[in-house]
Amino acid sequence: MDVLFSSKITFWVLKGIEISFRNYGDPLARTFGDLDILVPNKELIGELRKYLLSKGWQDQFEDEWIEDLPRRDWYMDRRHHISIIDPVHGVSVELHWQLDYRFLKLPEKNLELILEKETGTFEILNRKINVLSPELEYVFLLAHGARHAWCSFKWLVDVYHFPMDKIDSAKLEYWLDFFQIHKLLFLYQALATRYFKEKFQKSHSIPRYLVDYCSFRLENKELRLPMSIAHTWDSFYFDLLLVRNYNDFFKVSDLLIVRASDIFQVKLPFQFLYYFYRPIGIFRRSIGKGNSF
């Protein structure tokens, strides 16, 4: 973490070491595979990446960064983080510029203004780190879990053990309304009832498919990319059931048609051309990898 502080770029720590300290008072009580940090500015993300590379770090995956504009902006609009790794110590860091591109995406300036007010600090390992307010962190955990269909039991436990006595219920309700994600809370509650026998004061009806699909993902760890066409449809239907409004419907459809990986792999002069490239890419992958995306 010291190398991040030495960059002089302000960042917020998400999940992992932060949620371990928040939930259990011990930064090492919960296992985590990497360090997630939020820098709500794409240009600063580029500067931080460049700084870490100068210190011997490396992009963790080959499709992490695009140098040329505006293709990089198109690419970053369909993701919310890149991963960079210290090859000497094996430590990887996810550099986030959005809290979540699916449910919590905001213009940079809006996110920066929110973070001015919704920030706290923890002292961990003799270092003072920025963290989200309890209410915004809770909302972030709900969005992160739902976007991945709660495929890790650890994420459910994070929310289950979250210190709810630290949450201002009115502020939490405000953020649920602001992002229109009450359904994500209801989904978590249904899963907590199924796995932890948790009882809530109010019960909310949600499509059973949402809960069953999360259970399927949670209990089938072998399900990995590339996904079959059938599994891709199941995932898309899950996303459709979580759609909040008409704009969100088009967003979900758009993310399915044009992937960030397409923009990385193929250099096209205009963004709309990727909508024609995707069907060709699907056909090529289905031929080469046995009907998979």
Task: Give the span between the Cα atoms of 130 and 127, in whole angstroms.
Answer: 10
Could you give the percent of the chain with pLDDT greater than 90? 71
Residues facing 120 on adjacent strands: 131
Per-residue pLDDT band at 221 (split at 50, 70, 90)? low
Question: Which pLDDT score, from 0 to 100, does residue 220 have?
Answer: 83
Task: Give the span between the Cα atoms of 189 and 187, in whole angstroms.
Answer: 5
pLDDT tens per residue, range 69-101: 999 999 999 999 999 999 998 889 999 999 999
* Pick from 210, 215, 212: nearest CA to 186: 210
What pTM was estimated for this model as a whole?
A: 0.90
pLDDT tens per residue, range 28-47: 888 777 899 999 999 999 99
Q: Is the pLDDT of residue 9 over 50?
A: yes
Task: Give the span between the Cα atoms of 43 and 81, in whole angstroms.
Answer: 13
For residues 241-269, average pLDDT: 91
Mean per-residue pLDDT of the chain: 90
Q: What is the DSSP letter of 150?
A: T
The number of beta carbons lying within 10 Å of the beta carbon of residue 22 is 23
| 2 CB-contact burial (10 Å; exposed 0-12 / middle 13-18 / buried 19+) | exposed
Question: Which pLDDT score, from 0 to 100, does residue 291 have?
Answer: 47
pLDDT tens per residue, range 116-156: 999 999 998 788 999 999 999 999 999 999 999 999 999 99
DSSP code per residue over 158-215: HHHTS-GGGS-HHHHHHHHHHHT-HHHHHHHHHHHHHHH----SS-----HHHHHHHH
